[in-house]
Amino acid sequence: MPFPRCSFLFLLGLACSTPSSVREGKPKSTSLQSVRIGEEALTPFAFVSSAEFLFPEEMQSVRRTILRAEIARREGLRLNIEVPATEADEALEAALRNLRAELGNQTDLESWCRQRWGCSLTQFASALKQRLSANLLYQRVMRAWVCQGPTWEVQVIGVGSQKEAEEYFSRLRLGADPRTWDFPIHQELLAETSLAPIGPSLKNSTEGDVLGPFQLPGDENWFLLRVQKKRSPSTDLLPQAVLKDGLVDLPPGPLESRSWWEAMLRRYTASESPSAILNPPRSFVPF
């Protein structure tokens, strides 16, 4: 039976995450003992090598998720930002409630965890809570970074080609309502520190200005921005309660996330690329 991709990604996340024994300074395990042949267990390199070959796109997502969580952890320490346990508990309760609703009468959550992940509901909930807490921290430190200077609330209008972008740019300048168009529209909070050429374009913009067309490196589509509101910079780091409420009112968007990601890669001299897909000398070693 084919291995479910979601199960694969969860297992890979556990394999690549830093185990508690390492954080506490204990000897690091050199094998994944959940996959054994006799007295030998699978090596992490063999697992990652095969995963890179079989699931290249999913592996890119896994690499970035792990790197993003570590950068957010360091930013949390630098900015003295943390996620209270009560908020992580609330996020976990909401996630489990949604899972139960999706499962309906098909099965109970305990049976689903054992069938899908091979663990108890308690173990699954613990792993899920860690990831939810990491995601909440990521959102908070990202928003804190954005709000260090002036920010702009903008409408992001995605279009297909440059020709279409230029046509709809002219329409927006004449007062057209983009909500009547068959293009995706969402709200974002952006700053001067956003990706070029977005940041420099925002610097001198005012409410109602239409900016663009833009196309970011690696993207096929184009987009336009319509400035809705300019916010003054905060002289100090925003209180955590303010950050939390701001994220509820205006969740992070792809442009804000990408701007933060590229800025953090530069700050921490970080990078990510596919691991070698060559087979290791031995896939299984004694444990």
pLDDT at 235: 67
Sign of the alpha-carbon dihedral angle for 121, 127, 130, 132: negative
Nearest to 256 by CA among 245, 246, 269: 246
Structure tokens at 194: 């956003």
Positions of the chain with pLDDT under 70: 1-29, 235
State yes or no: cis peptide before 84, omega within 30 of 0. Answer: no
pLDDT at 29: 56
- Bridge partners, 40 (sequence order): 37, 286
pLDDT at 281: 75
Write out pLDDT tens, residues 75-85.
Answer: 999 999 999 99
Write out pLDDT tens, residues 25-71.
Answer: 444 557 888 899 999 999 988 998 899 999 999 999 999 999 999 99
Nearest to 215 by CA among 268, 280, 160: 160
Q: What is the pTM (predicted TM-score) of this model? A: 0.84
| Domains assigned to the chain | 1-148+234-287 (no CATH), 150-233 (3.10.50)
Q: Where are the beta strands (DSSP E) in 65-204?
A: 151-159, 185-191
Q: Rounded to 5 degrees, what are φ and ψ at 106?
A: -65, -45
Which string of DSSP letters, residue by residue, matches 238-252? PPHHHHHHHHHHS--
Pairwise CA distance, residues 227 & 205, whole Å: 7
